[in-house]
Amino acid sequence: MLKLTNIRKLLGLFISILFFSSSVYAEERRLLIDAHIHYSHDAWDMLPPKVAIKVLRDAGLKNAFVSSSSDKGTQLLYNEAPDLIVPVLRPYRKRGELSTWFLDESVIEMIEGRLSKYTFAGIGEFHIFGEDANVPVMKRVVALAKEYGIFLHAHSDAEAVENIFRQNPEAMVLWAHSGFEGPGKISEMLAKYPNLRADLAFRNEHADSGKVDEAWRKLFLAFPNRIMIGTDTYTPERWYYVIDHANWTRNWLRDLPSEVADKIAYKNAQKLADWALKK
């Protein structure tokens, strides 16, 4: 027969195992907000809204910033799961407009119409580089973001980002892919522009096999409140990468101090969405 002390020891062990397992699970399933999701026209058939939402939930996402070519994709997902989707207005009717949209003045009418009709946290992700950020269409986009108090999700080089801030020093800019710049330049830009945020979509350089690169670690620790993660589902097939990407992200986030990891994982994105959606 088991003695009472032994039963207590066993019970203690069981509780410890249970606690340890649940904390490991919580760590593995760290909350994430994916700040870079597209649900464009070519995805709707192969991945209907219910399926797409299931992918996002299966990935353990708290929220997803979604912008689509056309915006109909974002609305389809938002209607399906308003608790999950943070809608962002993409100025493209189809993905092929990414290198011409800023020369097409009819885009303005489209953006104005959508902004007045639907709720958005931002305008983007749009592609704009260098001096093109000063063309009339882009200037109007910057002005509209100011008018609505929402952010700009800019796939841009540093020069275009600087041009946007010249137009409106108070603009809130989420720098897509961190401009594909190295940690030194990103750090310089974040230091220079307090309203600049940066996403890590389609970036690998900052982490390998769960280990954060030292130069990037310095960046993350220097700007823990300004960086967020994202997948970039630029083709329908990329939607099947969201779960793998989330797991990969959780893996390298573990290599950072927990508080910093949580900020990059979801808190920074949450704060940006709350600011834009006036919560």
Partner 1 sequence: MNTLALRLFAIWLVVFGSVGISLASEFFSEAEKTIIQSFGPWPPPLIADPSNSVSQNSEAISLGKKLFSERRLSLGRDLACSDCHAPDQFFTDGTALNSAHGRATRNTPGLLNLRWSSWFGWGGAADSLWAQSIRPLLSKEEMKFTGKKLRELFSEDIALTQKVQELFEISVVDQSDEALFVIVGKLLAAYEETLISGLSEFDRFNVALSASDNIGIESYLATAKRGLKIFIGKGRCNLCHFGPTFTNGEFGDIGVTQFITKGRIDKGRYQGIKALQSSPFNLLGEYNDDQQGTSRVRTEHVTLQHRNWGEFKIPSLRNAVKTAPYMHNGSIETLAGVVEFYSNLDEERLHIRGEKILRTLNLTPQEKKDLVAFLRTL
Shortest distance (Å) from residue 262 CB to partner 1: 23
Query: Which is nearer to partner 1, 8 or 211 (by Cβ)?
Result: 211
Q: Residues 41-70: x/- map of binding to partner 1 (CB under 8 A)? A: -x---x----x-------------------
Which has the closest alpha carbon to 171: 160, 185, 183?
160
d(CA 142, CA 23): 44
Q: Between β-strands 32-38 and 85-89, what pairing exists: parallel, antiparallel or unpaired?
A: unpaired
Shortest distance (Å) from residue 128 CB to partner 1: 12
Q: What is the DSSP letter of 36?
A: E
Give the pair of three-digit tokens for residue 249.
């992200």
Stretch in the footprint of partner 1 (CB under 8 A) among 22-30, 105-113, 183-191, 240-248: 240-248
Q: Which amino acid is at 257?
A: P
94 is a contact residue toward partner 1 (CB under 8 A): yes
240 is a contact residue toward partner 1 (CB under 8 A): yes
Query: Where are the extended beta strands (E) located within 104-199?
Result: 122-128, 151-156, 173-175, 196-199
Shortest distance (Å) from residue 74 CB to partner 1: 17
Query: Which is nearer to partner 1, 41 or 140 (by Cβ)?
Result: 41
Shortest distance (Å) from residue 181 CB to partner 1: 12
3-class DSSP state of 226: coil
Cross-strand pairs, 196: 173
Place of tokens 């979801």: 266
6 is a contact residue toward partner 1 (CB under 8 A): no
Query: Which is nearer to partner 1, 102 or 144 (by Cβ)?
Result: 102
H or E segment and range at residue 67 = strand 61-67
- In the list 132, 181, 199, 232, the residue contacting partner 1 (rule: CB under 8 A) is 232
Q: How far apart are the first and last CA of the chain?
A: 60
- The footprint of partner 1 (CB under 8 A) covers 42, 46, 51, 94-96, 98, 127, 155, 177, 180, 202-204, 208-209, 232, 234-238, 240-241, 244-245, 248
